[in-house]
Amino acid sequence: MKKSDVDIIKQWIEYTGAESAPEGFSKKVMSRIELEKAYLYANPINKRFVLGTVLVFTTLIILALTLPSAREYYWINIVIGKLSGLFSEIPDSFSIPGIMIFARYIFYVSGGIIVFVLMDRFLSKFLVPQKG
Amino acid sequence: MESISTDRYYINLILSGNKEAFSSIVERHKDNVYNLALKICGNREDAEEVAQDSFVKAFRALSSFKGKSSFATWLYRIVYNTSMTFVRKNKLDILRLEEFPVDCVDFIRSNAMEEEAEIEYMKILLSYAMQKLDHEDRAIVTMHYYQDLSYSEICSITGLSRSNIKVRLFRTRKKMQEIIEKNMIKELKYEKV
């Protein structure tokens, strides 16, 4: 074997060997691991979550831009119309001033609350650490 | 193959809530992790700190390990990145000594080439040659020689191309060989090893 063919570094490394980790290394690492709780069981924000969020917002924006203004609140008006029918049957003695405006606000507010609750459940599924 | 499936077994245990199973992972990989950090950092204190940090980072990111590469390759990538960040942040420089420490030569001569003294001397000389390299080259040498990783694994860990790694290894080997030959005492020959 020619001297140039000999990989002296490889030979030396094989001959001298590698160092072992210091005494008590594993114990030190595990004591640090003991302090770690949240990281392991938290699902990282994944592509599905990002894609879902983008889809929801894109859909809402597209709907807002493309729905004809004549149809604005079309289905909401149907519901409110039905509610008005109910309220019109209530005797005058039971009527409250501005009840229709109040009913309309209840509709929007409860809708908003439902959207926020759903969003909260959706986000917590991805972000809150799961036990055990 | 057995090693990969064993790692997977412990990872599944950890992800199902058995945190203690991580100690098996540490036991299996601690020497390689420590050695890689040691060769890049160049001293034992920093290497231990970096190796510990790497294991903690690996633990935190364990749920994101998809098994596209082996667990060892994934872990070494964390060690490599943590070590490189550490040496850059702390501005750990490559060794500037022009001459090999004379003490070592005296030591080996006074011990009349006993085998233990000889190995110790070779270790010091190797370490000296390694410390003359830049941190990235040290990492490549360690992964290639000490950990016997393939080129594709080293590419995956360092993010460097295959040809770049081959060229760097060739140059590094030459440089280390020159340093060793220059500083080797006459009594110690290649034939000895």
pLDDT in tens, A9-19: 777 777 777 78
Does B96 fall in a domain? no
CA nearest A15 in B: which residue?
Answer: B193
Domain ranges of chain A: 3-127
Distance (Å, rounded) from C-alpha B171 to C-alpha B136? 13
pTM of this prediction?
Answer: 0.62
CATH code, domain carrying B158:
1.10.10.10
- Helix count (H) and strand count (E) of chain B? 9, 0
Q: Looking at B47, B63, B89, which one is the last position of a domain? A: B89
For residues B108 and B180, membership in a common domain is answered with yes
Distance from CA of B64 to the nearest CA of A (A): 7
Whether B166 contacts chain A with CB within 8 A: no
Who's near A126: CB < 8 A, 6+ residues apart? A43, A45, A46, A49
Whether A70 contacts chain B with CB within 8 A: no
**Residues in B touching A6 (Cβ below 8 Å):** 190
ipTM entry = 0.76
Residue B60 and residue A39 in contact, taking contact as beta carbons nearer than 8 Å? yes
Tell me how crowded residue A132 is: count the other CB atoms within 10 A of its CB: 6
Q: Do A32 and B56 touch (CB under 8 A)?
A: yes
Domain that holds residue B129: 102-192
DSSP string, B127-170: HHHHHTS-HHHHHHHIIIIIS---HHHHHHHH---HHHHHHHHH
Helix B162-183 and helix B115-131, axial crossing angle in degrees, nearest 10: 130
pLDDT in tens, B112-134: 556 677 777 777 788 888 888 88
Q: Do B190 and A11 touch (CB under 8 A)?
A: yes
Q: pLDDT class for B84, splitting at 50, 70, 90?
A: very high
Does B73 fall in a domain? yes
CA nearest A131 in B: which residue?
Answer: B17
State whether residue A1 is helix, strand or coil. coil
